Amino acid sequence: MARKRDFLSFWDLQDGEIEALLTRAEEFRFLRAVRAPHATRPGRVLGMIFEKASTRTRASFEIAIYQLGGHAVVLGKGDSQIGRGEPVRDTARVLAGYCDAVMVRTFGQDIAEELAAYAAVPVINGLTDLLHPCQVLADLQTVFAHFSGGLSVRAGAGAPASANSGSVLPVLRQQRYAWVGDGNNMANSWIEAAGILGLDLMLACPEGYEPDAKVLARARQTERGRITLSRDPGEAVAGRQVISTDVFTSMGQEQESEKRLRAFAGFCLDAPLVARADARAIVLHCLPAHRGEEISDDVIEGPQSLVWQQAENRLHAQKALLEWALG
Ligand code: CP
Ligand code: NVA
């Protein structure tokens, strides 16, 4: 029996599948750029469950399944029984009866795992407190496209270049990566990607805000990547090519925001900090951003910021992911 293709973390992908998804994501970027139809999954339905707010995840998944020829059903806290206490696992089983795949944005990773165990269709993690793998997939696409010039989206290109996922890993491994800020869901997904793909990643986090110890230990066990922790943002970014950050206060932590603002003093990704990175470095932020907190306005609006392309790539990367999950 074919395996049910859940995507709860990068560990759900087998060897070579990340590279294949990134290659396909680049093809989708090309197809969209030339307005070529690509309805490869007609009639398929994606159910989406949101226990937290979303702009990009909601819009990009809904548009992705639509452009693949399918349809999305969105259930949010405010407009479904979820907000009135119906358990996510019940909602999931009902949705699985109607849909071909389910995406969930929730709190605990255990909720997403439980949902996948109950649902007979593939379940995609659209963000938990622990991980945000769909975002890091788009981030990896952004890095690959930028430093390779893109597989297929080149000015004047008449047709998509034939897929060659063999070029993905060398390009990704040629870069050195930095994470500045909270050891949150985004940091944890970057760590998983680094461990699996063999990337050199240094994270600078204040004391008490380190990434998840189990995520870190498992990623280090591959002995492929080089994943190091620092307290010093300057050390983390020094000479590196890919600099990422995210909010200091994630969804669900709002009551800690003042304490966090104090703890993260000195961790703002501003121009003097970016100047310590490689001159060719790119700056990534999954958005939404708080200008003046984790990133300065001149950096997010500056020439090294790829945040808008990064956000757009959610659409392309998730088309590749949906195609893979739907089979
Ligand atoms: N980056 C991201 O997941 O954005 P949303 O919270 O708007 O979905
Ligand atoms: N770390 C952030 C990411 C938002 C896309 C959060 O969980 O709120």
Asked if 239 and 175 sit in the same domain, the reply is yes
Out of 134, 287, 306, mutate this one to test ligand 1's pocket (max ligand atoms within 8 Å of CB): namely 287
Q: Considering only CA atoms, which of 30, 32, 67 is closest in space to residue 46?
A: 67
Report the pLDDT value the prediction gives residue 153, as an integer from 0 to 100.
55
142 shares a domain with 120: no
Q: Indicate the pTM of the whole model.
A: 0.96
106 and 163 fall within a common domain: no
How many other CB atoms are there within 10 angstroms of residue 17's CB atom? 16
Query: Active-site residue among 100, 182, 212, 246?
Result: 246
Beta bridge partners of 101: 46
162 CA from centroid of ligand 1 (Å) = 31
Q: Is position 1 within any domain? A: no
Strand partners, 228: 202
Please choose, from the candidates 145, 144, 111, 151, the residue with its C-alpha nearest in 3D space to the C-alpha of residue 128.
111
Which residue of the set 105, 240, 260, 285 is catalytic? Answer: 105
Mean per-residue pLDDT for 276-295? 98
Residue 116, pLDDT score? 94
Task: Name the closest-CA residue to atom 3, ligand 2.
Answer: 250
The Cα-based distances of 7 to 62, 121, 185 in angstroms read 17, 11, 15
Per annotation, catalytic residue among 135, 141, 175, 241: 135
**Looking at the predicted structure, is the pLDDT value of residue 170 above 80?**
yes
How many structural domains does the chain have? 2
Residue 132 is among the residues annotated as catalytic for this protein = yes
**C-beta 29 within 6 A of ligand 1:** no
The ligand minimizing its distance to the Cα of 131 is 2
pLDDT at 177: 99
- Ligand number nearest to the C-alpha of 310: 1
Ligand 1 pocket, residue 56 CB under 6 Å: yes
Q: Which two tokens stand for residue 35?
A: 């307005």
Is there a single domain that holds both residue 143 and residue 163?
yes
Band of the pLDDT at 293, cuts 50, 70, 90? very high
Question: Any idea what the CATH number is for the domain that residue 169 is in?
Answer: 3.40.50.1370
Output the six-digit token pair for 193: 């990607």
Same domain, yes or no, for 299 and 160? yes
Give per-residue pLDDT as tens, 67-105: 999 999 999 988 889 889 898 888 888 999 999 999 999
Residue 162 pLDDT exceeds 60:
no
> Are 105 and 239 contained in the same domain?
no
Residues 152 and 298 in one domain: yes
* 35 and 149 both lie in a single domain: no
Known active-site residue 241: no
Indicate whether 45 pLDDT > 60.
yes
Residues of the domain holding 53: 10-132+313-326
